[in-house]
């Protein structure tokens, strides 16, 4: 079944720096063939005798069928685990589990899609763009970051998209400001039918707000702290409104990471909203 | 030569000693994506509560040296949804299931037991005693022998005789043997040890506690010695009581330590986050270690480290070649 995750020992094929980011291409056959845009993988870090017991979630930036199937991961060094990953070299092995999560839903008919990426969040949008183009969709990119070196994938976006709009907060590349400052005019100019976005929660909240103003659907890929990535530890929950109108604390790894933007209660992330199913006082009794 | 890995939890036979730890395998479906759950000795569910619970705010997790802190807060859909959707899924597949329950009052535990008493597919009932007792100023049941015993007695009186009741104990108590004895006297057929000790981490960037709930339960390799000590002490005091050893088991060797200390079954928690196949790997590694040391049966290794210094291991005293029929 497509999407059923597997665990594989992958071999690093190449490592490179892409602007401010690290990119690793890993031979990971079982994962590459099951992959769909939006999926992520989890990587064990630190080696066999590591003191780091949780895996690191990373989006899949690219898959290729070379070498039996490779996946490319793009990441920024945040803590000890990603620092260890940045030191991997060709021929090192990596323990990967994937593909994980729910991928981006694709429009049934050719549509005009705007893809919005902030920082390394852009990485996950490229396989999505390929899938949309293959379905005859029009693709336009809005990519941003704090500075020029933190805008990921500008060249590739220019190559494949109808238009590419770049933003930086320091004005070193493209328009000065955030992706959401540029988004309304891109939606208007392209007469977009849908928006796809990946980046920090704050960006996703703002992109969703813009999409709602234009009354077009927004699909967001969220990032929440993850312990297992496979849906068993319950640490990655965010408040999401279900089809029945009820808010539930749902797992970003198993029910997500892709959600419809207007269903995510961004302003309540990091809390248990009082009206969430099973919230203290909200129907259920609080026992701890 | 293969090692006989069967074990008994009270009178219930498990094909092998490895079970998932409560709260670390949800209700099974997620792990079933990776392997056939029949290969587990048993699956332990997350702790089921009466009402649906949304749990604690995020961040709920912080990685710590050789471990992690969690403050999930028993998030789950409640007993009704469990009986409707989760337990039947396991029961239909014939998966040996230890159902864990959690409550805030003795009445709540009894009610959970009542609801589970007639449900098909309950191999054993594990009573998570690490919940705060709402009727006793939030004091955790497991911290007090008498409070723990009250819960166990009430649950034992309700559950069918053929379903063992397992009391799950917390390590951060003054005298774990006293709590264990109180639970056994109250009718516990087996004990699970250990639940998470309480810990805390501070985010040095944000200059605030790392967890939204401030404190959380510590798990992973960091607590293995704590688990070994607890299992050792309780097995020494109550040698006839079946113990499920839990805490920081990442490898077969870790499981072997708990077995030698007195556990007849071993729970695997945090290791599952690192490796979804951890239970299968640990079972295989444990079997290999036993075989390499000449054991024919897991049962012969249970509590073996308690033998006086200088004495030969029990299993090597009998000449097994000769005595075999
Ligand atoms: C679905 C998803 C996709 C992601 N894709 C990418 C990507 O393509 N590129 C990239 O650079 N980063 C990505 N991240 C973020 C990445 O997982 C974290 O930066 C990384 O886990 C930090 O690990 P660390 O050891 O450096 O930090 P530490 O702070 O030492 O990590 C400690 C623990 O917290 C977890 N953790 C900390 N921050 C995060 C976070 N933001 N998200 C999830 N878990 C976290 C770690 O996984 C680890 O278990 C993604 C996160 C998610 C949830
Ligand atoms: C995320 C998480 C959730 C847990 N939930 C429960 C639970 O619902 N009930 C329970 O009795 N123990 C729960 N535990 C404790 C484990 O069952 C186990 O006793 C403990 O984590 C030690 O084992 P480990 O080091 O192998 O994880 C939980 C532990 C973790 C890490
Ligand atoms: S990361 Fe464990 S449930 Fe989502």
* B31 → closest Cβ in A4, A6, A232: A232
A227 lines ligand 3 (CB under 6 A): yes
Q: Residue B317: is its pLDDT beyond 90?
A: no
Taking residues A248-277, report their average pLDDT. Answer: 96
User: Residue A283 pLDDT > 60, yes or no?
Assistant: no
C-beta atoms surrounding A263 within 10 Å: 16
Check pocket membership of A121 for ligand 1, CB cut-off 6 A: no
Annotated binding site of B for substrate, which residues?
70-74, 128
What is the distance in angstroms between the Cα of B40 and the nearest Cα belonging to chain A? 16
Give me the pLDDT at residue B322, please: 46
Looking at residues B286-304, what average pLDDT do you find? 97
Average pLDDT, chain A: 94
From the CB of A102, is ligand 1 less than 6 Å away? no
A13 Cα: distance to centroid of ligand 2 (angstroms): 37
pLDDT of residue A281: 64
Interface test with A, best of B274, B277, B280 (most A CBs within 10 A): B274
Q: Does the pLDDT value for residue B311 go beyond 90? A: no
Say if B104 is an interface residue toward chain A (CB within 8 Å): yes
**CA pair distance B183, B165, nearest whole angstrom:** 10
Q: Label residue A3 by pLDDT band (50, 70, 90).
A: low
Mean of the pLDDT values across residues B125-145?
Answer: 89
pLDDT of residue A2: 47
SS3 track for A1-19: CCCCCEEEEEEEEEEEEEC
Is the predicted pLDDT of residue A128 greater than 70, yes or no? yes
Query: With 60 as the cut, is the pLDDT of residue A288 above it?
Result: no
Inspect the interface and report whether the beta carbons of B60 and A225 lie closer than 8 Å: yes
Instruction: Look at residue A286 in the predicted model and tell me its pLDDT.
Output: 40
Residues B60-72 pLDDT 10s: 999 999 999 999 9
* Ligand 1 and A63: CB distance under 6 A: no
Number of C-alpha atoms within 13 angstroms, CB side, residue A247? Answer: 21
Catalytic residue numbers of B, as ranges: 131
Of residues A3 and A25, the one with the higher pLDDT is: A25
Beta-strand runs (E) in chain B: 7-9, 12-14, 18-20, 43-48, 61-64, 67-70, 97-101, 124-128, 132-133, 139-140, 165-169, 190-193, 198-200, 202-203, 208-209, 215-219, 243-246, 265-268
Cβ-contact A46, A52 below 8 angstroms: yes
If pLDDT is split at 50, 70 and 90, which confidence band does B229 have? very high
The whole-number pLDDT of residue A280 equals 85
pLDDT at B312 over 80: no
pLDDT tens sequence across B180-191: 999 999 999 999
Angle ∠(A19,A24,A29) on CA atoms, nearest 5: 150
- Binding site per annotation, positions of B for FMN: 128, 168, 194, 220, 247-248, 269-270
Q: Give the confidence band of B315 by pLDDT, cuts at 50, 70, 90.
A: low
B89 near A CB under 8 A: no
Question: Which among A34, A39, A53, A266 is the top mutation candidate for probing chain B, defined by the most B β-carbons within 10 Å of its own β-carbon?
Answer: A53
Binding-site residues, ligand 2, Cβ < 6 A: A 233; B 21-24, 46-47, 70, 72, 74, 100, 128, 168, 195-196, 217, 219-220, 223, 246-249, 268-271
- Which distant-in-sequence residues (6+ apart) come within 8 Å of B26 by Cβ? A231, A232, A234, B45, B46
**pLDDT number for residue A284:** 42
Average pLDDT of B46-57? 94
**pLDDT mean over A37-59:** 95
Distant-in-sequence, close-in-space partners of B283: CB < 8 Å, separation ≥ 6: B5, B16, B17, B18, B39, B41, B252
Q: How far apart are CA A3 and CA B112, in angstroms?
A: 36
For residue B296, the tally of other CB atoms under 10 A from its CB is: 16
Q: What is the pLDDT of residues A184-221, one digit of tens each?
A: 999 999 999 999 999 999 999 999 999 999 999 999 99
Res. B318 pLDDT band, cuts 50 70 90: low
Q: Is the Cβ of A251 closer than 8 Å to some Cβ of chain B?
A: no
| A-B C-beta contacts closer than 8 Å | 140
Contact B156, B127 (CB under 8 A): no
Flag whether pLDDT at A173 surpasses 50.
yes
Partner-chain residue, chosen from A54, A271, A283, that has the shortest CB–CB distance to B57: A271
Average pLDDT of the segment spanning B198-220: 96
């Amino acid at each position: 079944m497509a999407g059923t995750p597997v665990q594989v020992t992958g071999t690093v094929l190449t490592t490179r720096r892409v602007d401010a980011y690290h990119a690793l291409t890993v031979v990971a056959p079982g994962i590459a063939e099951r992959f769909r845009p939006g999926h992520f993988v989890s990587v064990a870090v630190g080696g066999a005798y590591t003191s780091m017991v949780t895996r690191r979630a990373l989006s899949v930036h690219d898959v290729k069928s070379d070498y039996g199937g490779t996946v490319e991961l793009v990441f920024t060094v945040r803590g000890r685990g990603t620092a260890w990953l940045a030191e991997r070299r060709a021929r090192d092995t990596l323990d990967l589990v994937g593909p994980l999560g729910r991928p981006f839903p694709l429009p049934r008919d050719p549509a005009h899609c705007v893809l919005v990426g902030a920082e390394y969040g852009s990485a996950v949008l490229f396989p999505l763009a390929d899938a949309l183009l293959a379905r005859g969709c029009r693709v336009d990119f809005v990519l941003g970051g704090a500075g020029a070196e933190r805008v990921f994938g500008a060249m590739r976006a220019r190559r494949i998209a109808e238009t590419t709009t770049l933003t930086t907060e320091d004005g070193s590349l493209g328009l000065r400001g955030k992706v959401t400052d540029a988004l309304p005019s891109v939606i208007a100019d392209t007469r977009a039918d849908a928006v796809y976005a990946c980046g920090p929660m704050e960006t996703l909240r703002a992109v969703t707000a813009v999409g709602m103003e234009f009354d077009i659907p927004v699909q967001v890929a969220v990032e929440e702290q993850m312990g297992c990535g496979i849906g068993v530890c319950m640490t990655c929950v965010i408040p999401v409104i279900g089809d029945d109108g009820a808010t539930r604390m749902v797992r970003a790894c198993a029910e997500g990471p892709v959600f419809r933007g207007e269903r995510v209660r961004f302003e309540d992330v990091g809390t248990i909203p009082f009206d969430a199913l099973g919230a203290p006082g909200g129907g259920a009794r609080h026992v701890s | 030569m293969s090692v006989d890995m069967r074990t008994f939890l009270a009178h219930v036979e498990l094909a092998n000693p490895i079970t998932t730890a409560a709260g670390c395998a949800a209700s099974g479906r997620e792990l079933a994506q990776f392997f056939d759950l029949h290969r587990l000795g048993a699956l332990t569910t997350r702790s089921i509560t009466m009402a649906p619970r949304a749990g604690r705010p995020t961040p709920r997790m912080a990685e710590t040296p050789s471990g992690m802190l969690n403050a999930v807060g028993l998030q789950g859909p409640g007993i009704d949804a469990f009986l409707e959707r989760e337990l039947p899924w396991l029961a239909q597949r014939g998966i040996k299931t230890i159902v864990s329950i959690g409550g805030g009052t003795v009445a709540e535990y009894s009610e959970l037991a009542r609801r589970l008493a007639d449900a098909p597919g309950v191999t054993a009932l594990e009573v998570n005693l690490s919940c705060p007792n709402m009727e006793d100023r939030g004091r955790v049941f497991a911290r007090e022998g008498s409070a723990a015993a009250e819960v166990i007695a009430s649950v034992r009186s309700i559950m069918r005789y053929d379903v063992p009741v397992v009391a799950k104990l917390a390590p951060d108590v003054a005298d774990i043997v006293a709590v264990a004895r109180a639970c056994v006297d109250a009718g516990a057929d087996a004990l699970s040890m250990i639940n998470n000790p309480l810990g805390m981490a501070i985010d040095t960037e944000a200059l605030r506690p790392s967890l939204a709930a401030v404190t959380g339960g510590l798990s992973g390799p960091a607590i293995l010695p704590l688990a070994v000590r607890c299992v050792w002490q309780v097995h020494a005091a109550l040698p006839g009581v079946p113990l499920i050893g839990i805490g920081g088991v990442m490898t077969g060797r870790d499981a072997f330590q708990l077995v030698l200390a007195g556990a007849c079954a071993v729970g695997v928690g945090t290791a599952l986050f690192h490796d979804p196949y951890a239970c299968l790997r640990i079972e295989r590694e444990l079997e290999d270690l036993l075989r390499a040391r000449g054991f024919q049966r897991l049962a012969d290794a249970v509590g073996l480290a308690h033998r006086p210094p200088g004495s030969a291991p029990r299993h090597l005293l009998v000449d097994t070649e000769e005595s075999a029929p």
